[in-house]
Structure 1
Amino acid sequence: MGSLKAETSISKGRCNGTGKNLSPDSLINLDHGDPTMYESFWREMGEKSTIVILGWQLMSYFSDVRNLCWFLEPELAKEIRKLHQLVGNAEINDRHIIVGNGSSQLFQAALYALSPPDASEPISVVSAVPYYSSYPPVTDYLRSELYRWAGDAYTFKKDAPYIELVTSPNNPDGFTREAVVNRSRGKMVHDLAYYWPQYTPITSAVDHDLMLFTVSKCTGHAGTRIGWALVKDREVAIKMTKFIELNTIGVSKDSQLRAAKILNTVCEGYEGGNTNGVMRFFEYGRRLMTERWERLREAVRKSTLFSLPEFQFEFCNFDREIRSAHPAFAWLKCEGDIEDLEMFLRSHKVLTRSGKHFGADPRYVRASMIDRDETFDLFVQRLSTIH
Structure 2
Amino acid sequence: MSFKQEPCSDEERGKDSPVRKRDFKKGIHEIMCINNPPLRVSTSERGDYGDDRVINLDAGDPTMYETYWKKMGKKATMVIPGWRSMSYYSNGRSLCWFLEPDLCQQILRLHRVVGNAITEGRYIVVGNGSSQLILAALYALSSPESSEPTDVVSAVPYYSSYPSMCDYLKTALFKWGGDASKYEKEGSNYIEIVTSPNNPDGSLREPVVNRSGGKLLHDLAYYWPHYTSITAPADFDVALFTASKCTGHAGSRIGWALVKDPEIAMKMVKFIELNTIGVSKDSQLRAARMLSIVSDSCEQFGSTNVSDNRGESFYGFGHRLMTERWCRIRQAVKHGGMFTLPEFPTAYCTFLHQPTESRPAFAWLKCEDEEEDCAGLLRRHKILGRSGVSFGCSAQFVRVSMLDRDDNFDLLVQRISKITAAPNNSERH
Same-fold status (TM-score > 0.5): yes
- Identity, % of aligned positions: 60
Q: Equivalent of 1:253, from 267, 270, 281?
A: 281
Offset at 1:279? 1.3
Give secondary structure in 2 for the equivalent of 1:21: helix
Pair 1:244-2:250 in alignment = no
Q: Equivalent of 1:368, from 401, 418, 421?
A: 401
Q: Report the residue type matching 2:196 in the other structure.
A: S
CA contact (8 A) 1:22 1:375 kept: no
Aligned length: 371
Q: Deviations over 1:206-241 (max 9, x none)?
A: 100000000000110000000000000000000000
Offset at 1:19? 3.9
Q: What pairs up with 1:68-87 in 2 under 5 angstroms?
A: 68-87=95-114
Q: Which residue of 2 aligns with 1:133?
A: 160
Give secondary structure in 1 for the equivalent of 2:198: coil
CA contact (8 A) 2:298 2:315 kept: no
Q: Which residue of 2 aligns with 1:194?
A: 222
Q: Report the residue type matching 1:225 in the other structure.
A: R
Q: What pairs up with 1:266-305 in 2 under 5 angstroms?
A: 266-273=294-301, 277-305=310-338
Q: Report the residue type matching 1:308 in the other structure.
A: L
Q: Which residue of 1 aligns with 2:235?
A: 207
Offset at 1:345? 0.8
Give secondary structure in 2 for the equivalent of 1:137: helix
Q: What pairs up with 1:58-73 in 2 under 5 angstroms?
A: 58-73=85-100
Provide the C-alpha distance between the structure 2 equivalents of 1:49 and 1:86, rounded to a whole number of angstroms: 19
Offset at 1:303? 0.3
Give secondary structure in 2 for the equivalent of 1:188: strand
Give secondary structure in 2 for the equivalent of 1:190: strand
Q: Which residue of 2 aligns with 1:169?
A: 197
Q: What pairs up with 1:90-105 in 2 under 5 angstroms?
A: 90-105=117-132
Q: Equivalent of 1:27, from 45, 48, 54?
A: 54
CA contact (8 A) 2:301 2:313 kept: no
Q: Which residue of 1 aligns with 2:23?
A: none
CA contact (8 A) 2:226 2:315 kept: yes
Provide the C-alpha distance between the structure 2 equivalents of 1:314 and 1:22, rounded to a whole number of angstroms: 42
Q: Equivalent of 2:263, from 215, 235, 255?
A: 235
Provide the C-alpha distance between the structure 2 equivalents of 1:225 and 1:197, rounded to a whole number of angstroms: 21
Q: Which residue of 1 aligns with 2:384?
A: 351
Q: Which residue of 1 aligns with 2:18?
A: none
Q: Structure 1 208/378 Cα, relative in aligned 2: closer, same or farther at 3 Å?
A: same
Q: Structure 1 385/321 Cα, relative in aligned 2: closer, same or farther at 3 Å?
A: same
Provide the C-alpha distance between the structure 1 equivalents of 2:215 and 2:370, rounded to a whole number of angstroms: 41
Give secondary structure in 1 for the equivalent of 2:282: helix
Offset at 1:191? 0.1
Provide the C-alpha distance between the structure 2 equivalents of 1:189 and 1:176, rounded to a whole number of angstroms: 15
Gaps of 5+ in 1: 1-16
TM-score normalised to structure 1 length: 0.94
Q: Equivalent of 1:150, from 174, 177, 181?
A: 177
Q: Which residue of 2 aligns with 1:7?
A: none
Q: Report the residue type matching 2:282 in the other structure.
A: D
Give secondary structure in 1 for the equivalent of 2:411: helix
Q: Which residue of 1 aligns with 2:346?
A: 313
Higher relative contact order (CA 8 A, sep 6+): 1
Offset at 1:22? 4.2
Offset at 1:48? 1.1
Provide the C-alpha distance between the structure 2 equivalents of 1:298 and 1:168, rounded to a whole number of angstroms: 26
Provide the C-alpha distance between the structure 1 equivalents of 2:309 and 2:416, rounded to a whole number of angstroms: 38
Q: Report the residue type matching 1:242 in the other structure.
A: K
Q: Report the residue type matching 1:181 in the other structure.
A: V
Give secondary structure in 1 for the equivalent of 2:194: strand
CA contact (8 A) 1:212 1:229 kept: yes
Q: Equivalent of 1:108, from 123, 131, 135?
A: 135
Provide the C-alpha distance between the structure 1 equivalents of 2:336 and 2:309, rounded to a whole number of angstroms: 42
Provide the C-alpha distance between the structure 1 equivalents of 2:416 and 2:63, rounded to a whole number of angstroms: 21
Provide the C-alpha distance between the structure 2 equivalents of 1:283 and 1:197, rounded to a whole number of angstroms: 8
Offset at 1:271? 2.7
Bigger mean CA offset, 187-196 vs 336-345 = 336-345
Give secondary structure in 1 for the equivalent of 2:291: helix
Provide the C-alpha distance between the structure 2 equivalents of 1:272 and 1:26, rounded to a whole number of angstroms: 41
Give secondary structure in 2 for the equivalent of 1:99: strand
CA contact (8 A) 1:31 1:351 kept: yes
Q: Deviations over 1:178-213 (max 9, x none)?
A: 000011210000000000000000000010000000
Q: Structure 1 69/337 Cα, relative in aligned 2: closer, same or farther at 3 Å?
A: closer
Give secondary structure in 1 for the equivalent of 2:218: strand
Offset at 1:117? 1.4
Offset at 1:278? 1.3
TM-score normalised to structure 2 length: 0.85
Q: Which residue of 1 aligns with 2:12?
A: none
CA contact (8 A) 1:338 1:344 kept: no
Q: Structure 1 22/285 Cα, relative in aligned 2: closer, same or farther at 3 Å?
A: farther
Q: Which residue of 2 aligns with 1:36?
A: 63
Q: Which residue of 1 aligns with 2:208?
A: 180
Offset at 1:57? 1.0
CA contact (8 A) 1:22 1:374 kept: no
Q: Report the residue type matching 1:52 in the other structure.
A: V
Q: Deviations over 1:310-369 (max 9, x none)?
A: 001110000000110000000000012542111111111110000010001110000000
Offset at 1:273? 4.9
Gaps of 5+ in 2: 1-43, 303-307, 421-429
Provide the C-alpha distance between the structure 1 equivalents of 2:129 and 2:49, rounded to a whole number of angstroms: 30
Offset at 1:34? 0.2
Pair 1:223-2:256 in alignment = no
